[in-house]
Structure 1
């Protein structure tokens, strides 16, 4: 008699139930009902992954099923993408090949699965040197079929939802990578809900206490917000009913991560984040042609009820964002004295806002859409970035961030043609965006008919005319103020080409000089010359000779004809100096290697280890109580960073395999320097009160204090020595009790 394992039965039931849920969700969509191919893909993947478990202990097939559900429900893709999601790990984790997938499921699904396999294991592999290359691979694949990246984002979302089963150092790596790459990528693709969830999940793992604190405060103030929403929207509903529109009004509460981000950047407490609530008016247009006019009609009608903010009308209806986002944003003054943002959008616009480019496939499974213009523009940007010669992984990621995720500005040509540029673009960037020849010969620009230099930063609405001269050449200094990938790539390429020409000329000059002096072109002779001119390499010397910044003469001859004995003596000193170290010196430098760090364990930061083995990062100056992590640098030193420090975010994304989870184990014996920022209303004796609170009440040592007043407002910075975050909190709380002190917060420097 065969005994059936009840765990296996329950696993089988769980898998079958999950698959049925996926099918039911798919059948509710407007896509063609291709149930057969989805069932075939599920059976194939289920068989391929049979017996394999995830780290959480559940059957592996539950992961592809979950990703397929996200692809179907949250991104809105059809059967091709659902099948690809179900099969996305088959080629990487089993013996099946892409050819097998193609034979069974056809070339389209095979192509997407191949793209997903190439970029598996997150954007970055375990080796730091391969990271930028992997990212390029991801973007190249994406430019073939954008569904690859949409499924990859779904894959990352499910990984983030199940991150709890991983080790802490892995959690930091994945959360950091998510915040640095995937959340902005989801944003750029217009996947607004997914972007928000990725940010919140990353934040929850990196700063669990702050996350919980904000969550509790949001829950506590929910009833109050509901009341504000109901009172604010009641007259709007009456007005919209009069217009005869079919509509719905929904409240949008700022995400926990966005709230925390604002608290950090603006140095304000939760209670002073006033834009927690926004209102969305989503309507069905009377007819498709009137969609745009309806948005403005709604704006005009609600502006009669509440006063609009003159500087806060955002028209994304006439000029959609690069990710396809369309809406009209207006900020109105509510009866409670607070500004409330209202977002006006049609049901179609709302669809695109929530699902972005994925909405293009919503009704047409084979791909393609009515408006591929923005999509094509985005893919062109990616290709330009890939052409940018960035050797270093972090530089490359910064370029990606700079261009792909930048906010946009709208700039006009002299003829009134509109061009979209990344924020912070300069006149030089604009010139290169129009044409390489225009960029390489530009001498200046006229912005709104006023003459400006090439480094002038453009703003939305500027009309820009580029001025050129045939005699103008690309200058090395241009690399400093070019911000777009295209401009930087073109400038680097032109300078490189010029340098090669100079080096060619320089080589002819050098060989001519050496042959006249009857000296052979040995490396040692050439090294003498470039070192004599304080240059670092033969290439630098050749360039300098070619562009005539160096002219060889008598002094070079004398240097080359120096007596051989002098060289011999130098050589002897060098060889003895390097080979026979003083024994004491050997003891100093050849210390015993430190015990090997195990990145899988949580590193305890004690008084002894902090003083002996670890370094506190200068960029963020962490102190006990801060959420921190460790980074093993190239010299095997461990540097402690705050988890939200911009440098740490880059390190998590680019060198995730060197990240160590850390925790404090100190007991108020070590002192750390912190900076406290204070602001308030100036009054007599205020400085004396502040110093009394710090020095006498709290017995804290002040290192430096700088306060200045302007028009009755004072602000200043105080450098103090503290033991931990608790000390900082106590100092801030006590200073806020001082009359006329309105804001106290810890800052980086």
Structure 2
């Protein structure tokens, strides 16, 4: 099979249609080659007069795209669609005309490629997300669409020097983030490697030149070492009677740079790793060859991977091992069969049966299509373009990281796994009780992302428990499931406690002593409500699914009606309640957990007059009495309850302030320092530059109460550049 990446013509030399036909004649029927030539004539007429930025006639681009696909031995319809892939997008030609001339299949392929980019959006992020959504839809209907698009991007990257630097960098970033990983995910390794190198050169030309020069200088000595090791491996296999092909593998410039970046290695450390590929006739001999190589060179523990028994998602199969070689160098060896090698080089394209077009029985195609369907399902559930792109990028980089426990045990985790993921992988109790960690003997935050080879030690405490914020940065399903389970149980426990307090207050409102309730009356109520136990009833009250006053009346139906009435409670919503002492109030401590939340609209803090609103499924939501949103709930006075702050609360609460300042250097630093002086933290800060002279800053702070907030605001007001400051509500 010809190489997937043919040599790029030298300047002034162009790949002509006659050259393309000569390549196609080596594997296609004459009729198919004639159809491709007819498509060329059609495309040349459609693109007549169009010039690329590089200055050459536009038709040379489709020819080069078709040439790249021909290097993969793709079918005639793919080659024809490649010739025509820009006709719908860049010329007046419509899909129906292509269908009339070349058939529905080719028209669908051309239309699929065109739809990926032919759309305008308000933001670059939105456009990128929508483009890839369309790409996935087109790929799911015919995998050849993405092969044509990848070949199109590959040729564009080969000629990217004609664009201005900003445009070059933008296209290169998109290539390295999305297109190269898609090529790799589909197993088209040759394209993925070249796309990575070309994007690296466009994004970081200076770094590319430095690494290329360093590689060139080392090449002479390296060749001698590579040949010596290659000969030693080949002789070892021949002595054992195992015929094989052994070749040295050169690292690409981008792979060298990426490894230096990811593992914080110097060029010498990366370039001293030598790579070899051993190709044998059948899978059994792969394992025989592995044993022979391990007899020749000592294997490095933990550096062996069996992708034959468990292939990668893209169908890639091979044995990988790293051994201690001569001259103090490390040697990476990949062992595979000829068929595995073909798949490794061309991936899904190697399985395209261009004569029959039958992909139903092809496991490689089926895996690719299943991946696409999974991605489309993710896209449908994603809340916004940014979330979808994040899911896509995570899925395109499924690499694993290997980290060590303090005892030397190796843990395998997905890429981007954090300390929390590691803790739950060790044991559920370790995850639930972790409060910190040491990575490579250095204290790090729990959200720290782990890298290959890290030594991780988890620090635990009996009093610690999972935080809902952990769900924002864990990546393993195990960690996510255990955190959610703990929080759910915690919510049930806290809601039962809150429900007990609310029911006790409601019973006192009816003039009943809660301690005098009989077990018979409780069981009778549970039976009528079809609930299993008393805690379940209290939990429903605490979560706001049942009203405490109604449950109290069901428990004590003979109690006289107390004239504290809902009309009084309703009146209290819209003016300062004068009779708070007529009915007991619920004390808010600030430590109730997930069943008592504080409204974001008004951000109540200790010292504020407050109201509690029972929200189904959430428990009590606390608002300030003057909150603008209180009026929205006037139709539901029965859901409001009297609440007040407990004395001597030490917990901190988020509160928003708005500061208007003159545009002067250092004003933000001065405000931040003033806040810190008063013992408060800044959670968030946003800016709104009004007219060039004044800026509005919105801060979310952590304050202990109204007195603490007043101290902070007085200190900020004393800053010369501050024009106005007020607490922000609504």
CA distance in 2, matches of 1:295, 1:536: 62
* 1:71 pairs with 2:64: no
**Aligned-pair distance for 1:279?**
0.8
**Aligned-pair distance for 1:329?**
1.3
**Aligned-pair distance for 1:322?**
0.6
**Which residue of 60, 63, 77 corresponds with 1:62?**
60
Contact map agreement 1:31 1:364 (CA 8 A) in 2 = no
Going from structure 1 to structure 2, the CA distance change for 1:514 and 1:81 (only over 3 Å counts) comes to farther
Going from structure 1 to structure 2, the CA distance change for 1:488 and 1:106 (only over 3 Å counts) comes to farther
Q: Which moved more, 1:198-207 or 1:272-281?
A: 272-281
Q: 2:252: which partner in 1?
A: 255
Q: 2:335: which partner in 1?
A: 344
CA distance in 1, matches of 2:233, 2:76: 41
**Aligned-pair distance for 1:404?**
3.0
SS of the counterpart of 2:620?
Answer: coil
Going from structure 1 to structure 2, the CA distance change for 1:105 and 1:449 (only over 3 Å counts) comes to same
CA distance in 1, matches of 2:135, 2:163: 24
How many residues of Structure 1 are paired with residues of Structure 2 in the alignment? Answer: 507
Going from structure 1 to structure 2, the CA distance change for 1:346 and 1:221 (only over 3 Å counts) comes to same
Q: 2:620: which partner in 1?
A: 550
Q: 1:685: which partner in 2?
A: none
CA distance in 1, matches of 2:320, 2:251: 15
CA distance in 1, matches of 2:109, 2:622: 60
**Aligned-pair distance for 1:308?**
2.2
TM-score after normalising by structure 2: 0.58
**Aligned-pair distance for 1:19?**
0.9
Contact map agreement 2:82 2:148 (CA 8 A) in 1 = yes
Going from structure 1 to structure 2, the CA distance change for 1:305 and 1:486 (only over 3 Å counts) comes to closer
Q: 1:281: which partner in 2?
A: 278
**Which residue of 133, 141, 144 corresponds with 1:144?**
141
Q: 1:626: which partner in 2?
A: none
Going from structure 1 to structure 2, the CA distance change for 1:338 and 1:124 (only over 3 Å counts) comes to farther
* 1:396 pairs with 2:388: yes
CA distance in 2, matches of 1:68, 1:131: 25
Going from structure 1 to structure 2, the CA distance change for 1:533 and 1:195 (only over 3 Å counts) comes to closer
Contact map agreement 1:250 1:281 (CA 8 A) in 2 = yes
Alignment RMSD, CA only?
Answer: 5.3
Q: 2:180: which partner in 1?
A: 183
Q: 1:134: which partner in 2?
A: 131
Contact map agreement 1:403 1:484 (CA 8 A) in 2 = no
Going from structure 1 to structure 2, the CA distance change for 1:81 and 1:429 (only over 3 Å counts) comes to farther
* 1:371 pairs with 2:363: yes
Going from structure 1 to structure 2, the CA distance change for 1:133 and 1:43 (only over 3 Å counts) comes to same
CA distance in 2, matches of 1:636, 1:142: 47
* 1:386 pairs with 2:379: yes
Going from structure 1 to structure 2, the CA distance change for 1:145 and 1:544 (only over 3 Å counts) comes to farther
SS of the counterpart of 2:599?
Answer: coil
Contact map agreement 1:406 1:423 (CA 8 A) in 2 = yes
CA distance in 1, matches of 2:362, 2:296: 37
Contact map agreement 1:32 1:365 (CA 8 A) in 2 = no
Contact map agreement 1:282 1:344 (CA 8 A) in 2 = yes
CA distance in 1, matches of 2:178, 2:394: 12
Going from structure 1 to structure 2, the CA distance change for 1:552 and 1:297 (only over 3 Å counts) comes to closer
TM-score after normalising by structure 1: 0.57
**Aligned-pair distance for 1:332?**
2.4
Structure 1 residues 99-110: aligned runs within 5 Å? 99-110=96-107
Question: Who wins on radius of gyration, i.e. which is larger?
Answer: 2
Going from structure 1 to structure 2, the CA distance change for 1:196 and 1:39 (only over 3 Å counts) comes to same
Contact map agreement 1:455 1:481 (CA 8 A) in 2 = no
Structure 1 residues 710-749: aligned runs within 5 Å? none
1:537-582 Cα distance to aligned partner (Å, 9 max, x none)? 59x9999622353278996899979xxxxxxxxxxxxxxxxxxxxx
SS of the counterpart of 1:326?
Answer: coil
Going from structure 1 to structure 2, the CA distance change for 1:554 and 1:383 (only over 3 Å counts) comes to closer
* 1:361 pairs with 2:352: yes
Contact map agreement 1:63 1:158 (CA 8 A) in 2 = yes
Uncovered stretches (5+) of structure 1, i.e. residues with no partner: 1-12, 286-290, 411-419, 431-443, 461-473, 526-531, 562-584, 592-610, 613-632, 638-749
* 1:313 pairs with 2:304: yes
**Which residue of 96, 116, 139 corresponds with 1:119?**
116
Contact map agreement 2:418 2:474 (CA 8 A) in 1 = yes
* 1:407 pairs with 2:406: no
**Which residue of 596, 600, 611 corresponds with 1:536?**
600
Contact map agreement 1:54 1:60 (CA 8 A) in 2 = yes
Q: 1:159: which partner in 2?
A: 156
Going from structure 1 to structure 2, the CA distance change for 1:508 and 1:72 (only over 3 Å counts) comes to farther
1:599-627 Cα distance to aligned partner (Å, 9 max, x none)? xxxxxxxxxxxx99xxxxxxxxxxxxxxx
* 1:92 pairs with 2:89: yes
CA distance in 2, matches of 1:524, 1:127: 49
Q: 1:727: which partner in 2?
A: none
**Aligned-pair distance for 1:533?**
8.6
**Aligned-pair distance for 1:476?**
5.9
Contact map agreement 2:28 2:76 (CA 8 A) in 1 = no
Contact map agreement 1:211 1:256 (CA 8 A) in 2 = yes
